[in-house]
Amino acid sequence: METFNVLVVIITSLASGLIGVIISNKHFIRQEKMKFKRDICLQLIANRHDLKGDEFTRALNSIIFAFNDDMTVIEKFKIFNDGIMSGSRDLDTTNLKLVFLIKAMLKHLKMEVNDIEDKYYLMTFNPK
């Protein structure tokens, strides 16, 4: 009977340790995905002044992979991408599509900024 109790203690100890590792691993993976998405969003925002620049292009190309679980972001991405690929010279429409994309990404990341006008999403702050 004592051997059985020791065996139960060993099995439950191993099981609880394994469960703890699985939960920690899932939490870590989820946090890393969110960090990856946040980094892409911030890279896109930081380089929004240069739509043809390398950094903006890298961020834009990463959206489809990073945000593939949010169809709203993907739809806004497609609309913005179709607009810039069509060669349209309507800057106001392109800017509006970019704002919608950024807002969708921020909403997905739970980083919404509701009190800021759309013009500030596009404004480059450089006091030089």
> For 54-87, what is the HEC assignment?
HHHHHHHHHHHHHCCCCHHHHHHHHHHHHHHHCC
pLDDT digits (tens, 9 = 90+) for 20-76: 999 999 999 999 999 999 999 999 998 888 878 899 999 999 999 999 999 999 999
11 in any annotated domain:
no
The two tokens of residue 48 are 């929004």
Which residues span the domain enclosing 75? 31-122
Write down the mean pLDDT value for the chain. Answer: 88
Domain count, the chain: 1
63 in any annotated domain:
yes
21 in any annotated domain:
no
Residue 125 confidence (pLDDT): 67
pTM: 0.78
Cα distance between residue 112 and residue 106, in whole Å: 5
| Confidence bin at 122 (pLDDT 50/70/90) | confident
23 in any annotated domain:
no
Cα distance between residue 121 and residue 3, in whole Å: 68
19 in any annotated domain:
no
26 in any annotated domain:
no
CB atoms within 10 A of CB 60: 20
User: Residue 48 carries which DSSP code?
Assistant: T
